[in-house]
Chains A and B, each alone.
Chain A
Amino acid sequence: MNQDFKWEWELSANKKRIQLGLRELWQYRGLIKSFARKELIAGYQQTIMGLSWLVIQPLLTTLFYLLVFSRIVKVSTDGVPPLLFYMSGNLLWGFFSDCLSSTMYTFKHNAHIFSKVYFPRLVVPISMIGTHMFRFSIQFILFILIYTFYWISGAVHPSIYMLWLPIVIIGTVTLAMGIGMIVSIYLARYNDLEPFMNFFLRLLMFVTPVVYPASLIPHSYKFLFWANPLIPLMEYFKAGFFFTKPVNLSYLFISFIITLLIFLCGLIYFKKKELSVMDTI
């Protein structure tokens, strides 16, 4: 027997380096697509409205916000037509919270699969993000249609800030996925995190300018702009469509740095724990 025999892979108890396994992930791209498709289709199987729920849901939420915040509470929208204002806020916020609340269940909801077969666990959060990307784009198209209508009638004008749009969307996904990956590991062990995260998401929505403009935040609370990375993202998202005065660019940079840090921590922690977490679930 030849001793200089080459092993193709090794599973060892004490791994020194954490490998991200990007090439392996690429081999599983088909599975990512299938999971995303399953998530999308299965959710609307045996419903009367089918995929039109994708459109109805945000529309109903927007109308509800319109009624409560614009007609009853009478919050300012900085001169933006209320329908568009609430719709844009809800669009990005919904995307963020959907991405976060689905990636954080990666281990908890897939334990039955993870205990039976190996594949890179990152497949699941990525496919979740994919599903929500698709839903987001449908809702975004709907938003653009309504926006165009307002634009033609002269009520709103797009601005140069629209160029930030792709980066803002990427930032939102990255932030949601980063938090989601960290939480997913702990959620597998401590169920307490589930009510906590629901609570946290609800509170986060109120400290993020979703139903009110950022200009309403008083000067003494300016720290929120860098403490909550979602605020600059939300503001730059809206600024592209309605030329209101956007927040300082430095806040956006701080937001990106925080987002990137959270994402990297999340990714490394996720890769480190992706297998051993199954011992504790």
Chain B
Amino acid sequence: MSDIILRVENVSKYYKLGILGSSSLKKDLQSWWRTNISKKPIPIPNEKKESKDHIWALKEINFEINEGDCLGIVGKNGSGKSTLLKTVSRIVPPTTGSIKGRGKITSLLEVGTGFHPELSGRENLYLNGQILGMSKKEITSKLDEIIDFSGVERFLDTPVKRYSSGMYVRLAFSVAAHLNTDILIVDEVLAVGDSEFQKKCIGKMQDVTQKSGKTILFVSHNLLALGNLCNKAICLSKGNLVDFGDSKSVISNYLNKEKVEILEQNFQLTDTYVGNEFIAVHSISLKPQYNDFNIIDTSTPLLINFSFLNKMLGSDNLSVHVLLYYYGGDCVFETGSIPTVYANGKINGTCLIPGNFLNDGHYYITISFIRNSSKVLYEFTEALVFDVADYREDKSSFSKWNGAVRPHFPVRLEETLM
């Protein structure tokens, strides 16, 4: 049986909210007086209600992991995933509770921490490695391996400010991939870079856990990668630990619980439009063009209707993009309207996703409003959430149909007589 390497006990994290201003000095003095002179404990850790001026980002989290485990952390945005990682990696102290562990812990919350744009790739490689806790000797001994992994050998003596973002990420991740540590904490860093490099990174991380028996804490919105990589997982919701166990079951519980269908959102009735000073979304709806049954399946064409108020001033043109995502995964497609100058006022839009195009799965739609084809004015994320059921004309096969999409392109066969 493997040993416990990390134990998190009753960890809570309190954050004050609001803007610091001329009144913050007075508040600071007040709270200093309360804690140090009148010895009143503030904040009160038991009273965990939400309020306007503070938030409990983590509420009494308890878990432990064994050596060689790969722990995935799932949860919605703002559920406390990043705070947990930061607390475990000693970046911020917990408000209550303690974290105990053994061995060297390294956190990779961002690729290329401390990269200096004026320094060359090689110099940054050393600097970044040392920031992450490697010694100079260690880096030198692995230098060839790191350079080889990064694939930016030719540019090593160029200042990184001239690097493309892809090269930058490659170089940065290469250092991180060769870290020699007992516990590695990784946050969403795989979301950057092209897919080929992402695969390489995930492969490298798999190597790290399976071959060298290192312990990993991993946060990703890519549940597929998380499920493949991790053997255990925890699920956080509003700072609470709601699920802990085998990664496959935690992920499926999470997906089932989070699975909500939103086929229509209408803000006109309540006058609480979503948007900002440029855009106010009035309504959005998904109208499936059902054929026989009232169920969205892979053959159902989906009509998206939306209306919004254009409050953007000036003669800039506007385009609206519709993005379709796998729930907890990658973007399937992005499609947009032709950039046109519109007068201020209400605009209606539609987008038709044809039948026999999407594969079965759980999807969500994000609408993005773009000014002058470049600047995102407003993004309405997860505007619509829906399920696409499997549809087969031929009922003899029930295995999962492969692919991101399931179009009906004609595949024709012809028999030739020998």
26 contacts between A and B (CB under 8 A): A1-B1, A5-B4, A7-B7, A8-B101, A8-B103, A9-B101, A11-B93, A13-B95, A30-B136, A38-B127, A42-B116, A45-B119, A113-B131, A114-B91, A115-B86, A115-B91, A116-B107, A116-B110, A116-B113, A117-B89, A117-B131, A118-B107, A119-B133, A275-B90, A275-B92, A276-B93
- Contact at B119–A30, with CB atoms within 8 Å? no
A112 and B111 alpha carbons, distance in the complex (Å): 12
Instruction: Please list the residues of chain B having a beta carbon within 8 angstroms of any beta carbon in chain A.
Output: 1, 3-4, 7, 15-16, 20, 24-25, 28, 86-87, 89-103, 107, 109-110, 113-114, 116, 118-119, 123, 126-127, 130-133, 135-136, 159
Q: What 5 A-B pairs have minimum CB-CB distances, sorted nearest first?
A: A12-B98, A118-B90, A45-B118, A7-B100, A31-B130
A275 and B102 alpha carbons, distance in the complex (Å): 20
Residues of A38-68 contacting chain B, CB below 8 A: 38, 41-42, 45-46
- Contact at B101–A116, with CB atoms within 8 Å? no
Q: Indicate which residue in A1, A30, A42, A190 contacts B130 across the interface (CB closer than 8 Å).
A: A30
A36 and B358 alpha carbons, distance in the complex (Å): 55
Interface 0/1 of A112-145, CB less than 8 Å to B: 1111111100000000000000000000000000
Residue of B nearest to A14 (CB): B96
For the complex formed, measure the closest distance between the CB of A23 and the CB atoms of chain B, giving whole angstroms: 14
- Contact at B103–A118, with CB atoms within 8 Å? no
Instruction: Report B-chain residues with C-beta under 8 Å of the C-beta of A248.
Output: none
Known: A8-B103, A10-B99. A34 touches B94 (CB 8 A): no
A63 and B89 alpha carbons, distance in the complex (Å): 51
Instruction: Report A-chain residues with C-beta under 8 Å of the C-beta of B87.
Output: 11
Instruction: Report B-chain residues with C-beta under 8 Å of the C-beta of A8.
Output: 101-103
Q: Indicate which residue in B15, B91, B123, B136 contacts A117 across the interface (CB closer than 8 Å).
A: B91
Instruction: Report A-chain residues with C-beta under 8 Å of the C-beta of B25.
Output: 190
A165 and B364 alpha carbons, distance in the complex (Å): 71
Q: Does residue A4 face the partner (Cβ distance < 8 Å to B)?
A: no
Residues of A170-194 contacting chain B, CB below 8 A: 189-190
Instruction: Report A-chain residues with C-beta under 8 Å of the C-beta of B97.
Output: 12-13
Residue of B nearest to A7 (CB): B100
For the complex formed, measure the closest distance between the CB of A70 and the CB atoms of chain B, giving whole angstroms: 38
- Contact at B107–A10, with CB atoms within 8 Å? no
- Contact at B99–A11, with CB atoms within 8 Å? yes
A64 and B67 alpha carbons, distance in the complex (Å): 65
A26 and B110 alpha carbons, distance in the complex (Å): 25
Instruction: Report A-chain residues with C-beta under 8 Å of the C-beta of B103.
Output: 8
- Contact at A116–B102, with CB atoms within 8 Å? no
Q: Indicate which residue in A1, A114, A117, A279 contacts B4 across the interface (CB closer than 8 Å).
A: A1
Q: Does residue A75 face the partner (Cβ distance < 8 Å to B)?
A: no
A102 and B105 alpha carbons, distance in the complex (Å): 29
For the complex formed, measure the closest distance between the CB of B223 and the CB atoms of chain A, giving whole angstroms: 24
Q: Does residue A278 face the partner (Cβ distance < 8 Å to B)?
A: yes
Known: A11-B90, A13-B96, A117-B109. A45 touches B159 (CB 8 A): yes
Q: Indicate which residue in A7, A11, A30, A35 contacts B94 across the interface (CB closer than 8 Å).
A: A11
Instruction: Report B-chain residues with C-beta under 8 Å of the C-beta of A12.
Output: 94, 97-99
Residue of A nearest to B182 (CB): A8
- Contact at B98–A278, with CB atoms within 8 Å? no
For the complex formed, measure the closest distance between the CB of A200 and the CB atoms of chain B, giving whole angstroms: 18
For the complex formed, measure the closest distance between the CB of A37 and the CB atoms of chain B, giving whole angstroms: 8
Instruction: Report B-chain residues with C-beta under 8 Å of the C-beta of A5.
Output: 3-4
Instruction: Report A-chain residues with C-beta under 8 Å of the C-beta of B133.
Output: 119
Instruction: Report A-chain residues with C-beta under 8 Å of the C-beta of B4.
Output: 1, 5
Instruction: Report B-chain residues with C-beta under 8 Å of the C-beta of A13.
Output: 93-98
Known: A41-B119, A118-B91, A275-B91. A113 touches B114 (CB 8 A): yes
Residue of A nearest to B132 (CB): A117
Q: Which of A11, A42, A46, A189 gathers most chain B CB within 10 Å?
A: A11
Give 12 new A-B contacts, CB below 8 A, not counting A42-B118, A45-B118, A275-B93: A5-B3, A5-B4, A6-B102, A10-B99, A11-B94, A30-B135, A35-B127, A46-B118, A112-B113, A116-B109, A118-B107, A189-B20
Instruction: Report B-chain residues with C-beta under 8 Å of the C-beta of A30.
Output: 130, 135-136
- Contact at A278–B92, with CB atoms within 8 Å? yes
Instruction: Report A-chain residues with C-beta under 8 Å of the C-beta of B96.
Output: 13
Instruction: Report A-chain residues with C-beta under 8 Å of the C-beta of B116.
Output: 38, 42
Q: Which of A6, A10, A276 gathers most chain B CB within 10 Å?
A: A10
Q: Which of B28, B91, B95, B131 gathers most chain A CB within 10 Å?
A: B131
Instruction: Report A-chain residues with C-beta under 8 Å of the C-beta of B123.
Output: 38, 41
Q: Indicate which residue in A9, A45, A116, A190 contacts B100 across the interface (CB closer than 8 Å).
A: A9
Known: A38-B116, A45-B118. A119 touches B131 (CB 8 A): yes
Instruction: Report A-chain residues with C-beta under 8 Å of the C-beta of B109.
Output: 116-117
Residue of B nearest to A15 (CB): B93
Instruction: Report B-chain residues with C-beta under 8 Å of the C-beta of A116.
Output: 91, 107, 109-110, 113
Instruction: Report A-chain residues with C-beta under 8 Å of the C-beta of B136.
Output: 30, 34
- Contact at A34–B130, with CB atoms within 8 Å? yes
A38 and B110 alpha carbons, distance in the complex (Å): 20
Instruction: Report A-chain residues with C-beta under 8 Å of the C-beta of B113.
Output: 112-113, 116-117
Q: Which of A5, A38, A190 gathers most chain B CB within 10 Å?
A: A38
